[in-house]
Structures are given as structure tokens and as C-alpha cells.
Structure 1
Amino acid sequence: MSALLEVDQLEVNFGGRVSAVRGASVTVERGETHCLVGESGCGKSVTALAVMNLLARGARRSAKRLAFEGQDLTGLSDSGMAHLRGNAMAMIFQEPMTSLNPAYTVGSQMTEVLRRHKKTTQRAATDRAADLLARVGITAPGLRLGQFPHQLSGGLRQRVMIAMALMCDPKLLIADEPTTALDVTVQAQILRLLAGLQRDLGLGMLLITHDLGIVARVAHRVSVMYAGEVVESAPTAELFANPKHPYTRGLLRCVPVPGKIKRDEPLGSIPGTVPRIGPGFEGCAFRDRCDFADVTCAHAIPRHAASVAHDFLCRLPA
């Protein structure tokens, strides 16, 4: 049986000047949470938007294989993709205020999703929307359905986006920083809700986050992105216990660990910023920030296998 989502050698270019995603490969199995991690500007959100075919005008995507449940997405028509989006595939966007239409109430936007794809009655759609708002921790859901986005706080708008994405019981959920605007208590509730849905529905999730604490708690597999490339991919426990790529090690050094980091001791950091990569770039994009870089890092970099399920992109062997 094929994986739920297969992304192999994805390329995304903007105007032929910027290569936002370069040969990225990600697989999401049924019932699996696969996390994409990395700094801002590494191509995580662009990868998600490419899967949903929601890239900005002027962007071009290509892939050796881009498939959902074995169905090729690159050759799918606009109407075919519209049938999948919000129905079998759903996305929680990073910025809820710009994702919700300010001219329509929360209820009208949520019920539209279900009525478009499932052809239910307005009453059934409203009941479903109210139930999901309650499940994501919103009190008085009936009242909230009649409100406009500007009447809600940032945290409430984020929870509305999560509930809206779940309206049609999707098989694949792409979540781009879904808990960023939430406090720790609500964040835990949302993560438990998503974990419960995975158990009940076999939901596959591609989770984009900067929070390695969330990754450690919920992810089955992790892919580390840098400058548009997946530089390391491994099962979660193996990645945390035995990181191979210098960038992955740098990210983990930035995380405070109780019992290991002394009070007032500075956390680790990675000097520099993510470079802007253009077409034709060769070599390791991390070389200007890496302690182990030498002249060979300016040439093609091999991909090594640390184990059957663990690979990384670096000249340094496992």
C-alpha cells in the first residue's frame, strides 16, 4: 500500500531567481505525524503550499513524484485539486487573521466547507461546527459562530482555523505552526485533540513547527530543512539521540535541557542567517555557518544513510 503523501524531489522556484525548495522529499504514512523543522526561510511553509497547490502567482513547482493516496497531484486539474482541498486534504495556516475572511461570520465560513464537500443541511453543518469549536476549547461555541474574525482574539482565531480544517474529517492534515498563538494549557489540549483524531481516523499529519519540545512529544518522524533542502530525516527518537547533520546538532544545542543547562549559562546558537539560494547553486548551503566546512563543501554533497530509516546530507560520513 502506498503512503498517504509522497513528495519526492520537490522543486519550487519563484520567477527563476529564488529556489525556495530544492529536491525536498517527505513521506507521510497513515496515522503518522511527520514534523518539518528548521529556521524561518528554510522552505517549510512553501513545501506545504506546494503540496496544496496554493503557491503565489509566478511560482513554479515540479517533482519526481507528488502524490496523495497514490494519485498524482502535479497533473491534477484545478477543479480536481479544489475537490481534495478542505475535504481529504486540509491545512491550518500560520496566520489566522489573514486566512479568515473579515466580511463573513465564523459560522458561515466553517459551514461552507462542509456544505461544499459533503452536501449536508445547514443545520447539520452548524451543529458540526459548534461541536468542533467546543472540542478545540472555545466556550459558548454557538455565540462564536455568529461573530466576525475581528471580534476574536488571536488565540481564538487560531482555534477556529483548526476546527475549520477538521470539518470534513480529512485524511491528511497539514498544520503550519498551529499552536503558535496559544498558551501552554490550550496548546496541550490541541495536541491531545489532534492525537485523538489520529487514533480514531487514521489521520496523517504534516506538522511544521519551530518548537522542538512539541516535536519530541508528538512526532513519529522528523525532517530537518535548511535553505530548501531536507538535510536530515529520521525517526524522532533516533534523531534526538543521534543527530548527524551539523545544522541539526546546532538546533538541538539551542534547546534548554533541565539538569544539563546551568542557571545563567547561555544557550547554544547558530551564527549567521539562512542564505538566499538561486538556480544553479551547488554544494552545502550551510557551509558558511558550519564549524566543519572546508573547500569540498562547495561541491556536490552526498547523502549518507546512518540507518535504514535515517539519512542526512553532508560530506562527513556517519
Structure 2
Amino acid sequence: MASDRGAPQARSVNRPPPEAKSLLEIEGLRVTFGQTAAVRGASFSVARGETHCVVGESGCGKSVTALAVMDLLVQGAQRSADRLQFGGEDLLTLPAKRMAALRGDRMAMIFQEPMTSLNPAYTIGSQMAEVFTRHRGGGRAAALERAAGLLGRVGITAPGMRLGQFPHQLSGGLRQRVMIAMALMCDPELLIADEPTTALDVTVQAQILRLLAELQRDLGLAILLITHDLGIVARIADKVSVMYAGEVVESGATAPIFAAPSHPYTRGLLRCVPVPGKVKRDELLGSIPGVVPRIPPGFVGCGFRDRCEHAVAGCAAPVPRQNAGGGHEYLCRLAPGWAA
């Protein structure tokens, strides 16, 4: 199969051993908000020590999927799944008290917007210490000592002084580093990072990504990274799940998906990415017409059909899941090899 023009090349990364057991298992996850099906049967898993990226446009259900895993959905949202397990524990039936004990301890999340995710009324030290004392006990002094150590670990200078500062006294890049340090306070097994480089300049983005890679290597973290940036995916992901309109439309190891994308949506996303040396000066980038639709419960057929140049009447029927080999799967009527 021919690779897409201008597609970024996925680099070789250190992958977990084949026998690595999945830490997080998601099968058939569904989330509805009234008459909107935000997540529709999403399935993927994250192994220990693995970086799994979930990619797609805004409104595709990426953040909702992460919030469903953490059981942080807004009141009124309906969550169900065929399987939703973390470390062998069923997150669907877990008592609220046990779920609260997992959050921030064995599983932690870096939220999307560092400028507003920290409480402006409390110092950095108070907010970080609360995580540690809640889950691990001990005194405030021990918690602050660990907080200072982690601030230094994520590259913040004068960490002891920073503990006494308020969020508004820090730049966006420093706040993002604080969020990462806070998520690591209890040595979690799974770190969910929801677009951790949003609103940061390119230099700080590179620093944050390098930091996450270093922390994963040193601490053995499993990382579920949510992003719309395919360049980030190509740099750090072991596996990738492409989401559209609440569904995982393509999934597998990163390199095969970037080399031979099989879903029209994935191919469209890759055509939108400028790649130095491959896209000529003044050449128009690709684009996907239209917007992500709001899908109602009970919707049948391909959610991408109204934007797809290959759509036919049969796309309104149930969509088969195709196997492109090597664990590379996609949700489309087009048979493997159609884009060769």
C-alpha cells in the first residue's frame, strides 16, 4: 500500500515485550449525554510501559473517553461498556470510595488546560501536598518534601520557592510541569495526559514531550496520551487509536498506520500535516470538508460518510471491521489494500 503524501514518519520506539499484560482494557465503551452519543463502542488497551495515543479532531470523543475511565463524567452522563478494567479491577462496578482511592494514586490524569486546572486560591505546595496526604498519609512536611523533589524532577528551578507561589505567578509551561509533577505524587501505574501541550509554544511542547518520555523510561509508566497532533503521535506513540464521532475507526501499532493508513479519515488527517521536504512551498495542504457531526443514540452506519469522498449508499448499513494484518484494524467497507 502506498503511504500518504506528506505523512509524518513514525519513529522507532522502545515497545513493551509481547507478553506484557494490559493494564487498562476498554471494550465497547459507550457514553451518552441525553440525545448525543459521545462515545460509541470504543475499544483499545494500554499495556504496562506503553504509550498509547488517541488522536482525532475536537469533538470526536477523546477527552470523554478519558473522563469515562476516571469516572469523572458530568452528572447526567450515561456510561456503559462490555469491559472496562484497570489492573484487573472492574471500573464499572467499583464502589465510589474505591474509585476515589484509585484516582490520583494508581491512575492519574493531566488535564487539558494548565492555565485553569490549578485552583487559583491555593499555593502550588498545598495542592500537591493534598494528593500525597490523601492517598499515602503522613505529615505535611513529608508531602512538601516529595512535592519539591518532583518539581525539580520535571525541570522547575528553585522548587522550594515555587511551593509557596500561586498558579497565577507561573507561566503556562511551568503550570503544565506542575500538573505533571502533581500527577506523579503517588507513583501511578497509568498516566492519562489530555492534550498536555495545548496552548504551549513549540519549544515548551518539545520539552514537555521529552519530559514525559524520560519519566516513562525511568518510572515504567503506562501513558494514555490524547492529542490532535499527528506529529506528536509519530514521535512518541507505541500504538495509536484514531477516533471519529465517538468510534475508534482505526487502531494498531504506530508505524504501520502512518505508513499505510486504511481508513479514509486517517488518510485525510495525514494529508493535512505539513512535512518539511515533502510538501512543496506554496503547495496547498489537504483538508477534510465539513465538521464532526453530533451522533444520536442508535445511529447506524459510518459516521464519516457525509464527509468521505468514497461514500456510497451502502455506508448507511452496519460497518464491518477490517483486518489489515499485524493487529492493524479499521472500521470501513473498503477492503484491505484499497488505497494501494
Which band: TM-score by shorter chain?
A: over 0.9
Which residue number in structure 2 is paired with residue 304 of structure 1?
322
Aligned equivalents of 1:93, 1:122: Cα separation in 2 = 25
Q: CA deviation at 1:2?
A: 4.0
Q: CA deviation at 1:211?
A: 1.3
Over residues 234-262 of structure 1, what are the superposed CA-to-partner deviations in whole Å (9 max), with x where a residue is unaligned?
10000000100000000000111122111
Which structure 1 residue ranges, 4+ long, deviate > 4 Å from structure 2? none
Aligned residues: 317
Over residues 194-251 of structure 1, what are the superposed CA-to-partner deviations in whole Å (9 max), with x where a residue is unaligned?
2222223321010001111111110000000000000000100000001000000000
Q: Are 1:11 and 2:40 counterparts?
A: no
Over residues 145-204 of structure 1, what are the superposed CA-to-partner deviations in whole Å (9 max), with x where a residue is unaligned?
111122222222222111111111100000001122333333333222222222233210
Structure 2 residue corresponding to 1:153, chosen from 159, 171, 178: 171
Which residue number in structure 2 is paired with residue 317 of structure 1?
335
Aligned equivalents of 2:188, 2:66: Cα separation in 1 = 16
Q: How does 1:1-318 map to 2 (within 5 A)?
A: 2-15=21-34, 17-318=35-336
Is the Cα–Cα contact under 8 Å of residues 2 and 70 in structure 1 kept in the other structure?
no
Aligned equivalents of 1:259, 1:247: Cα separation in 2 = 24
Paired AA for residue 3 in structure 1: S
Aligned equivalents of 2:81, 2:209: Cα separation in 1 = 31
Q: CA deviation at 1:140?
A: 2.1
Over residues 266-294 of structure 1, what are the superposed CA-to-partner deviations in whole Å (9 max), with x where a residue is unaligned?
11111100000011111001001101000
Q: CA deviation at 1:63?
A: 0.3
Q: CA deviation at 1:119?
A: 1.4
Find the residue that maps to 1:281 and give its secondary structure.
coil
Mean CA deviation greater in 195-204 or 61-70: 195-204
Give the alignment's TM-score, normalised by structure 1. 0.97
Is the Cα–Cα contact under 8 Å of residues 173 and 204 in structure 2 kept in the other structure?
no
Q: CA deviation at 1:96?
A: 2.3
Is the Cα–Cα contact under 8 Å of residues 135 and 193 in structure 1 kept in the other structure?
no
Q: Percent identity?
A: 74
Aligned equivalents of 1:144, 1:202: Cα separation in 2 = 27
Aligned equivalents of 2:270, 2:214: Cα separation in 1 = 28
**Unaligned 5+ runs, structure 1:** none
Over residues 71-112 of structure 1, what are the superposed CA-to-partner deviations in whole Å (9 max), with x where a residue is unaligned?
100000111000000000000000123321121111100011
Give the alignment's TM-score, normalised by structure 2. 0.90
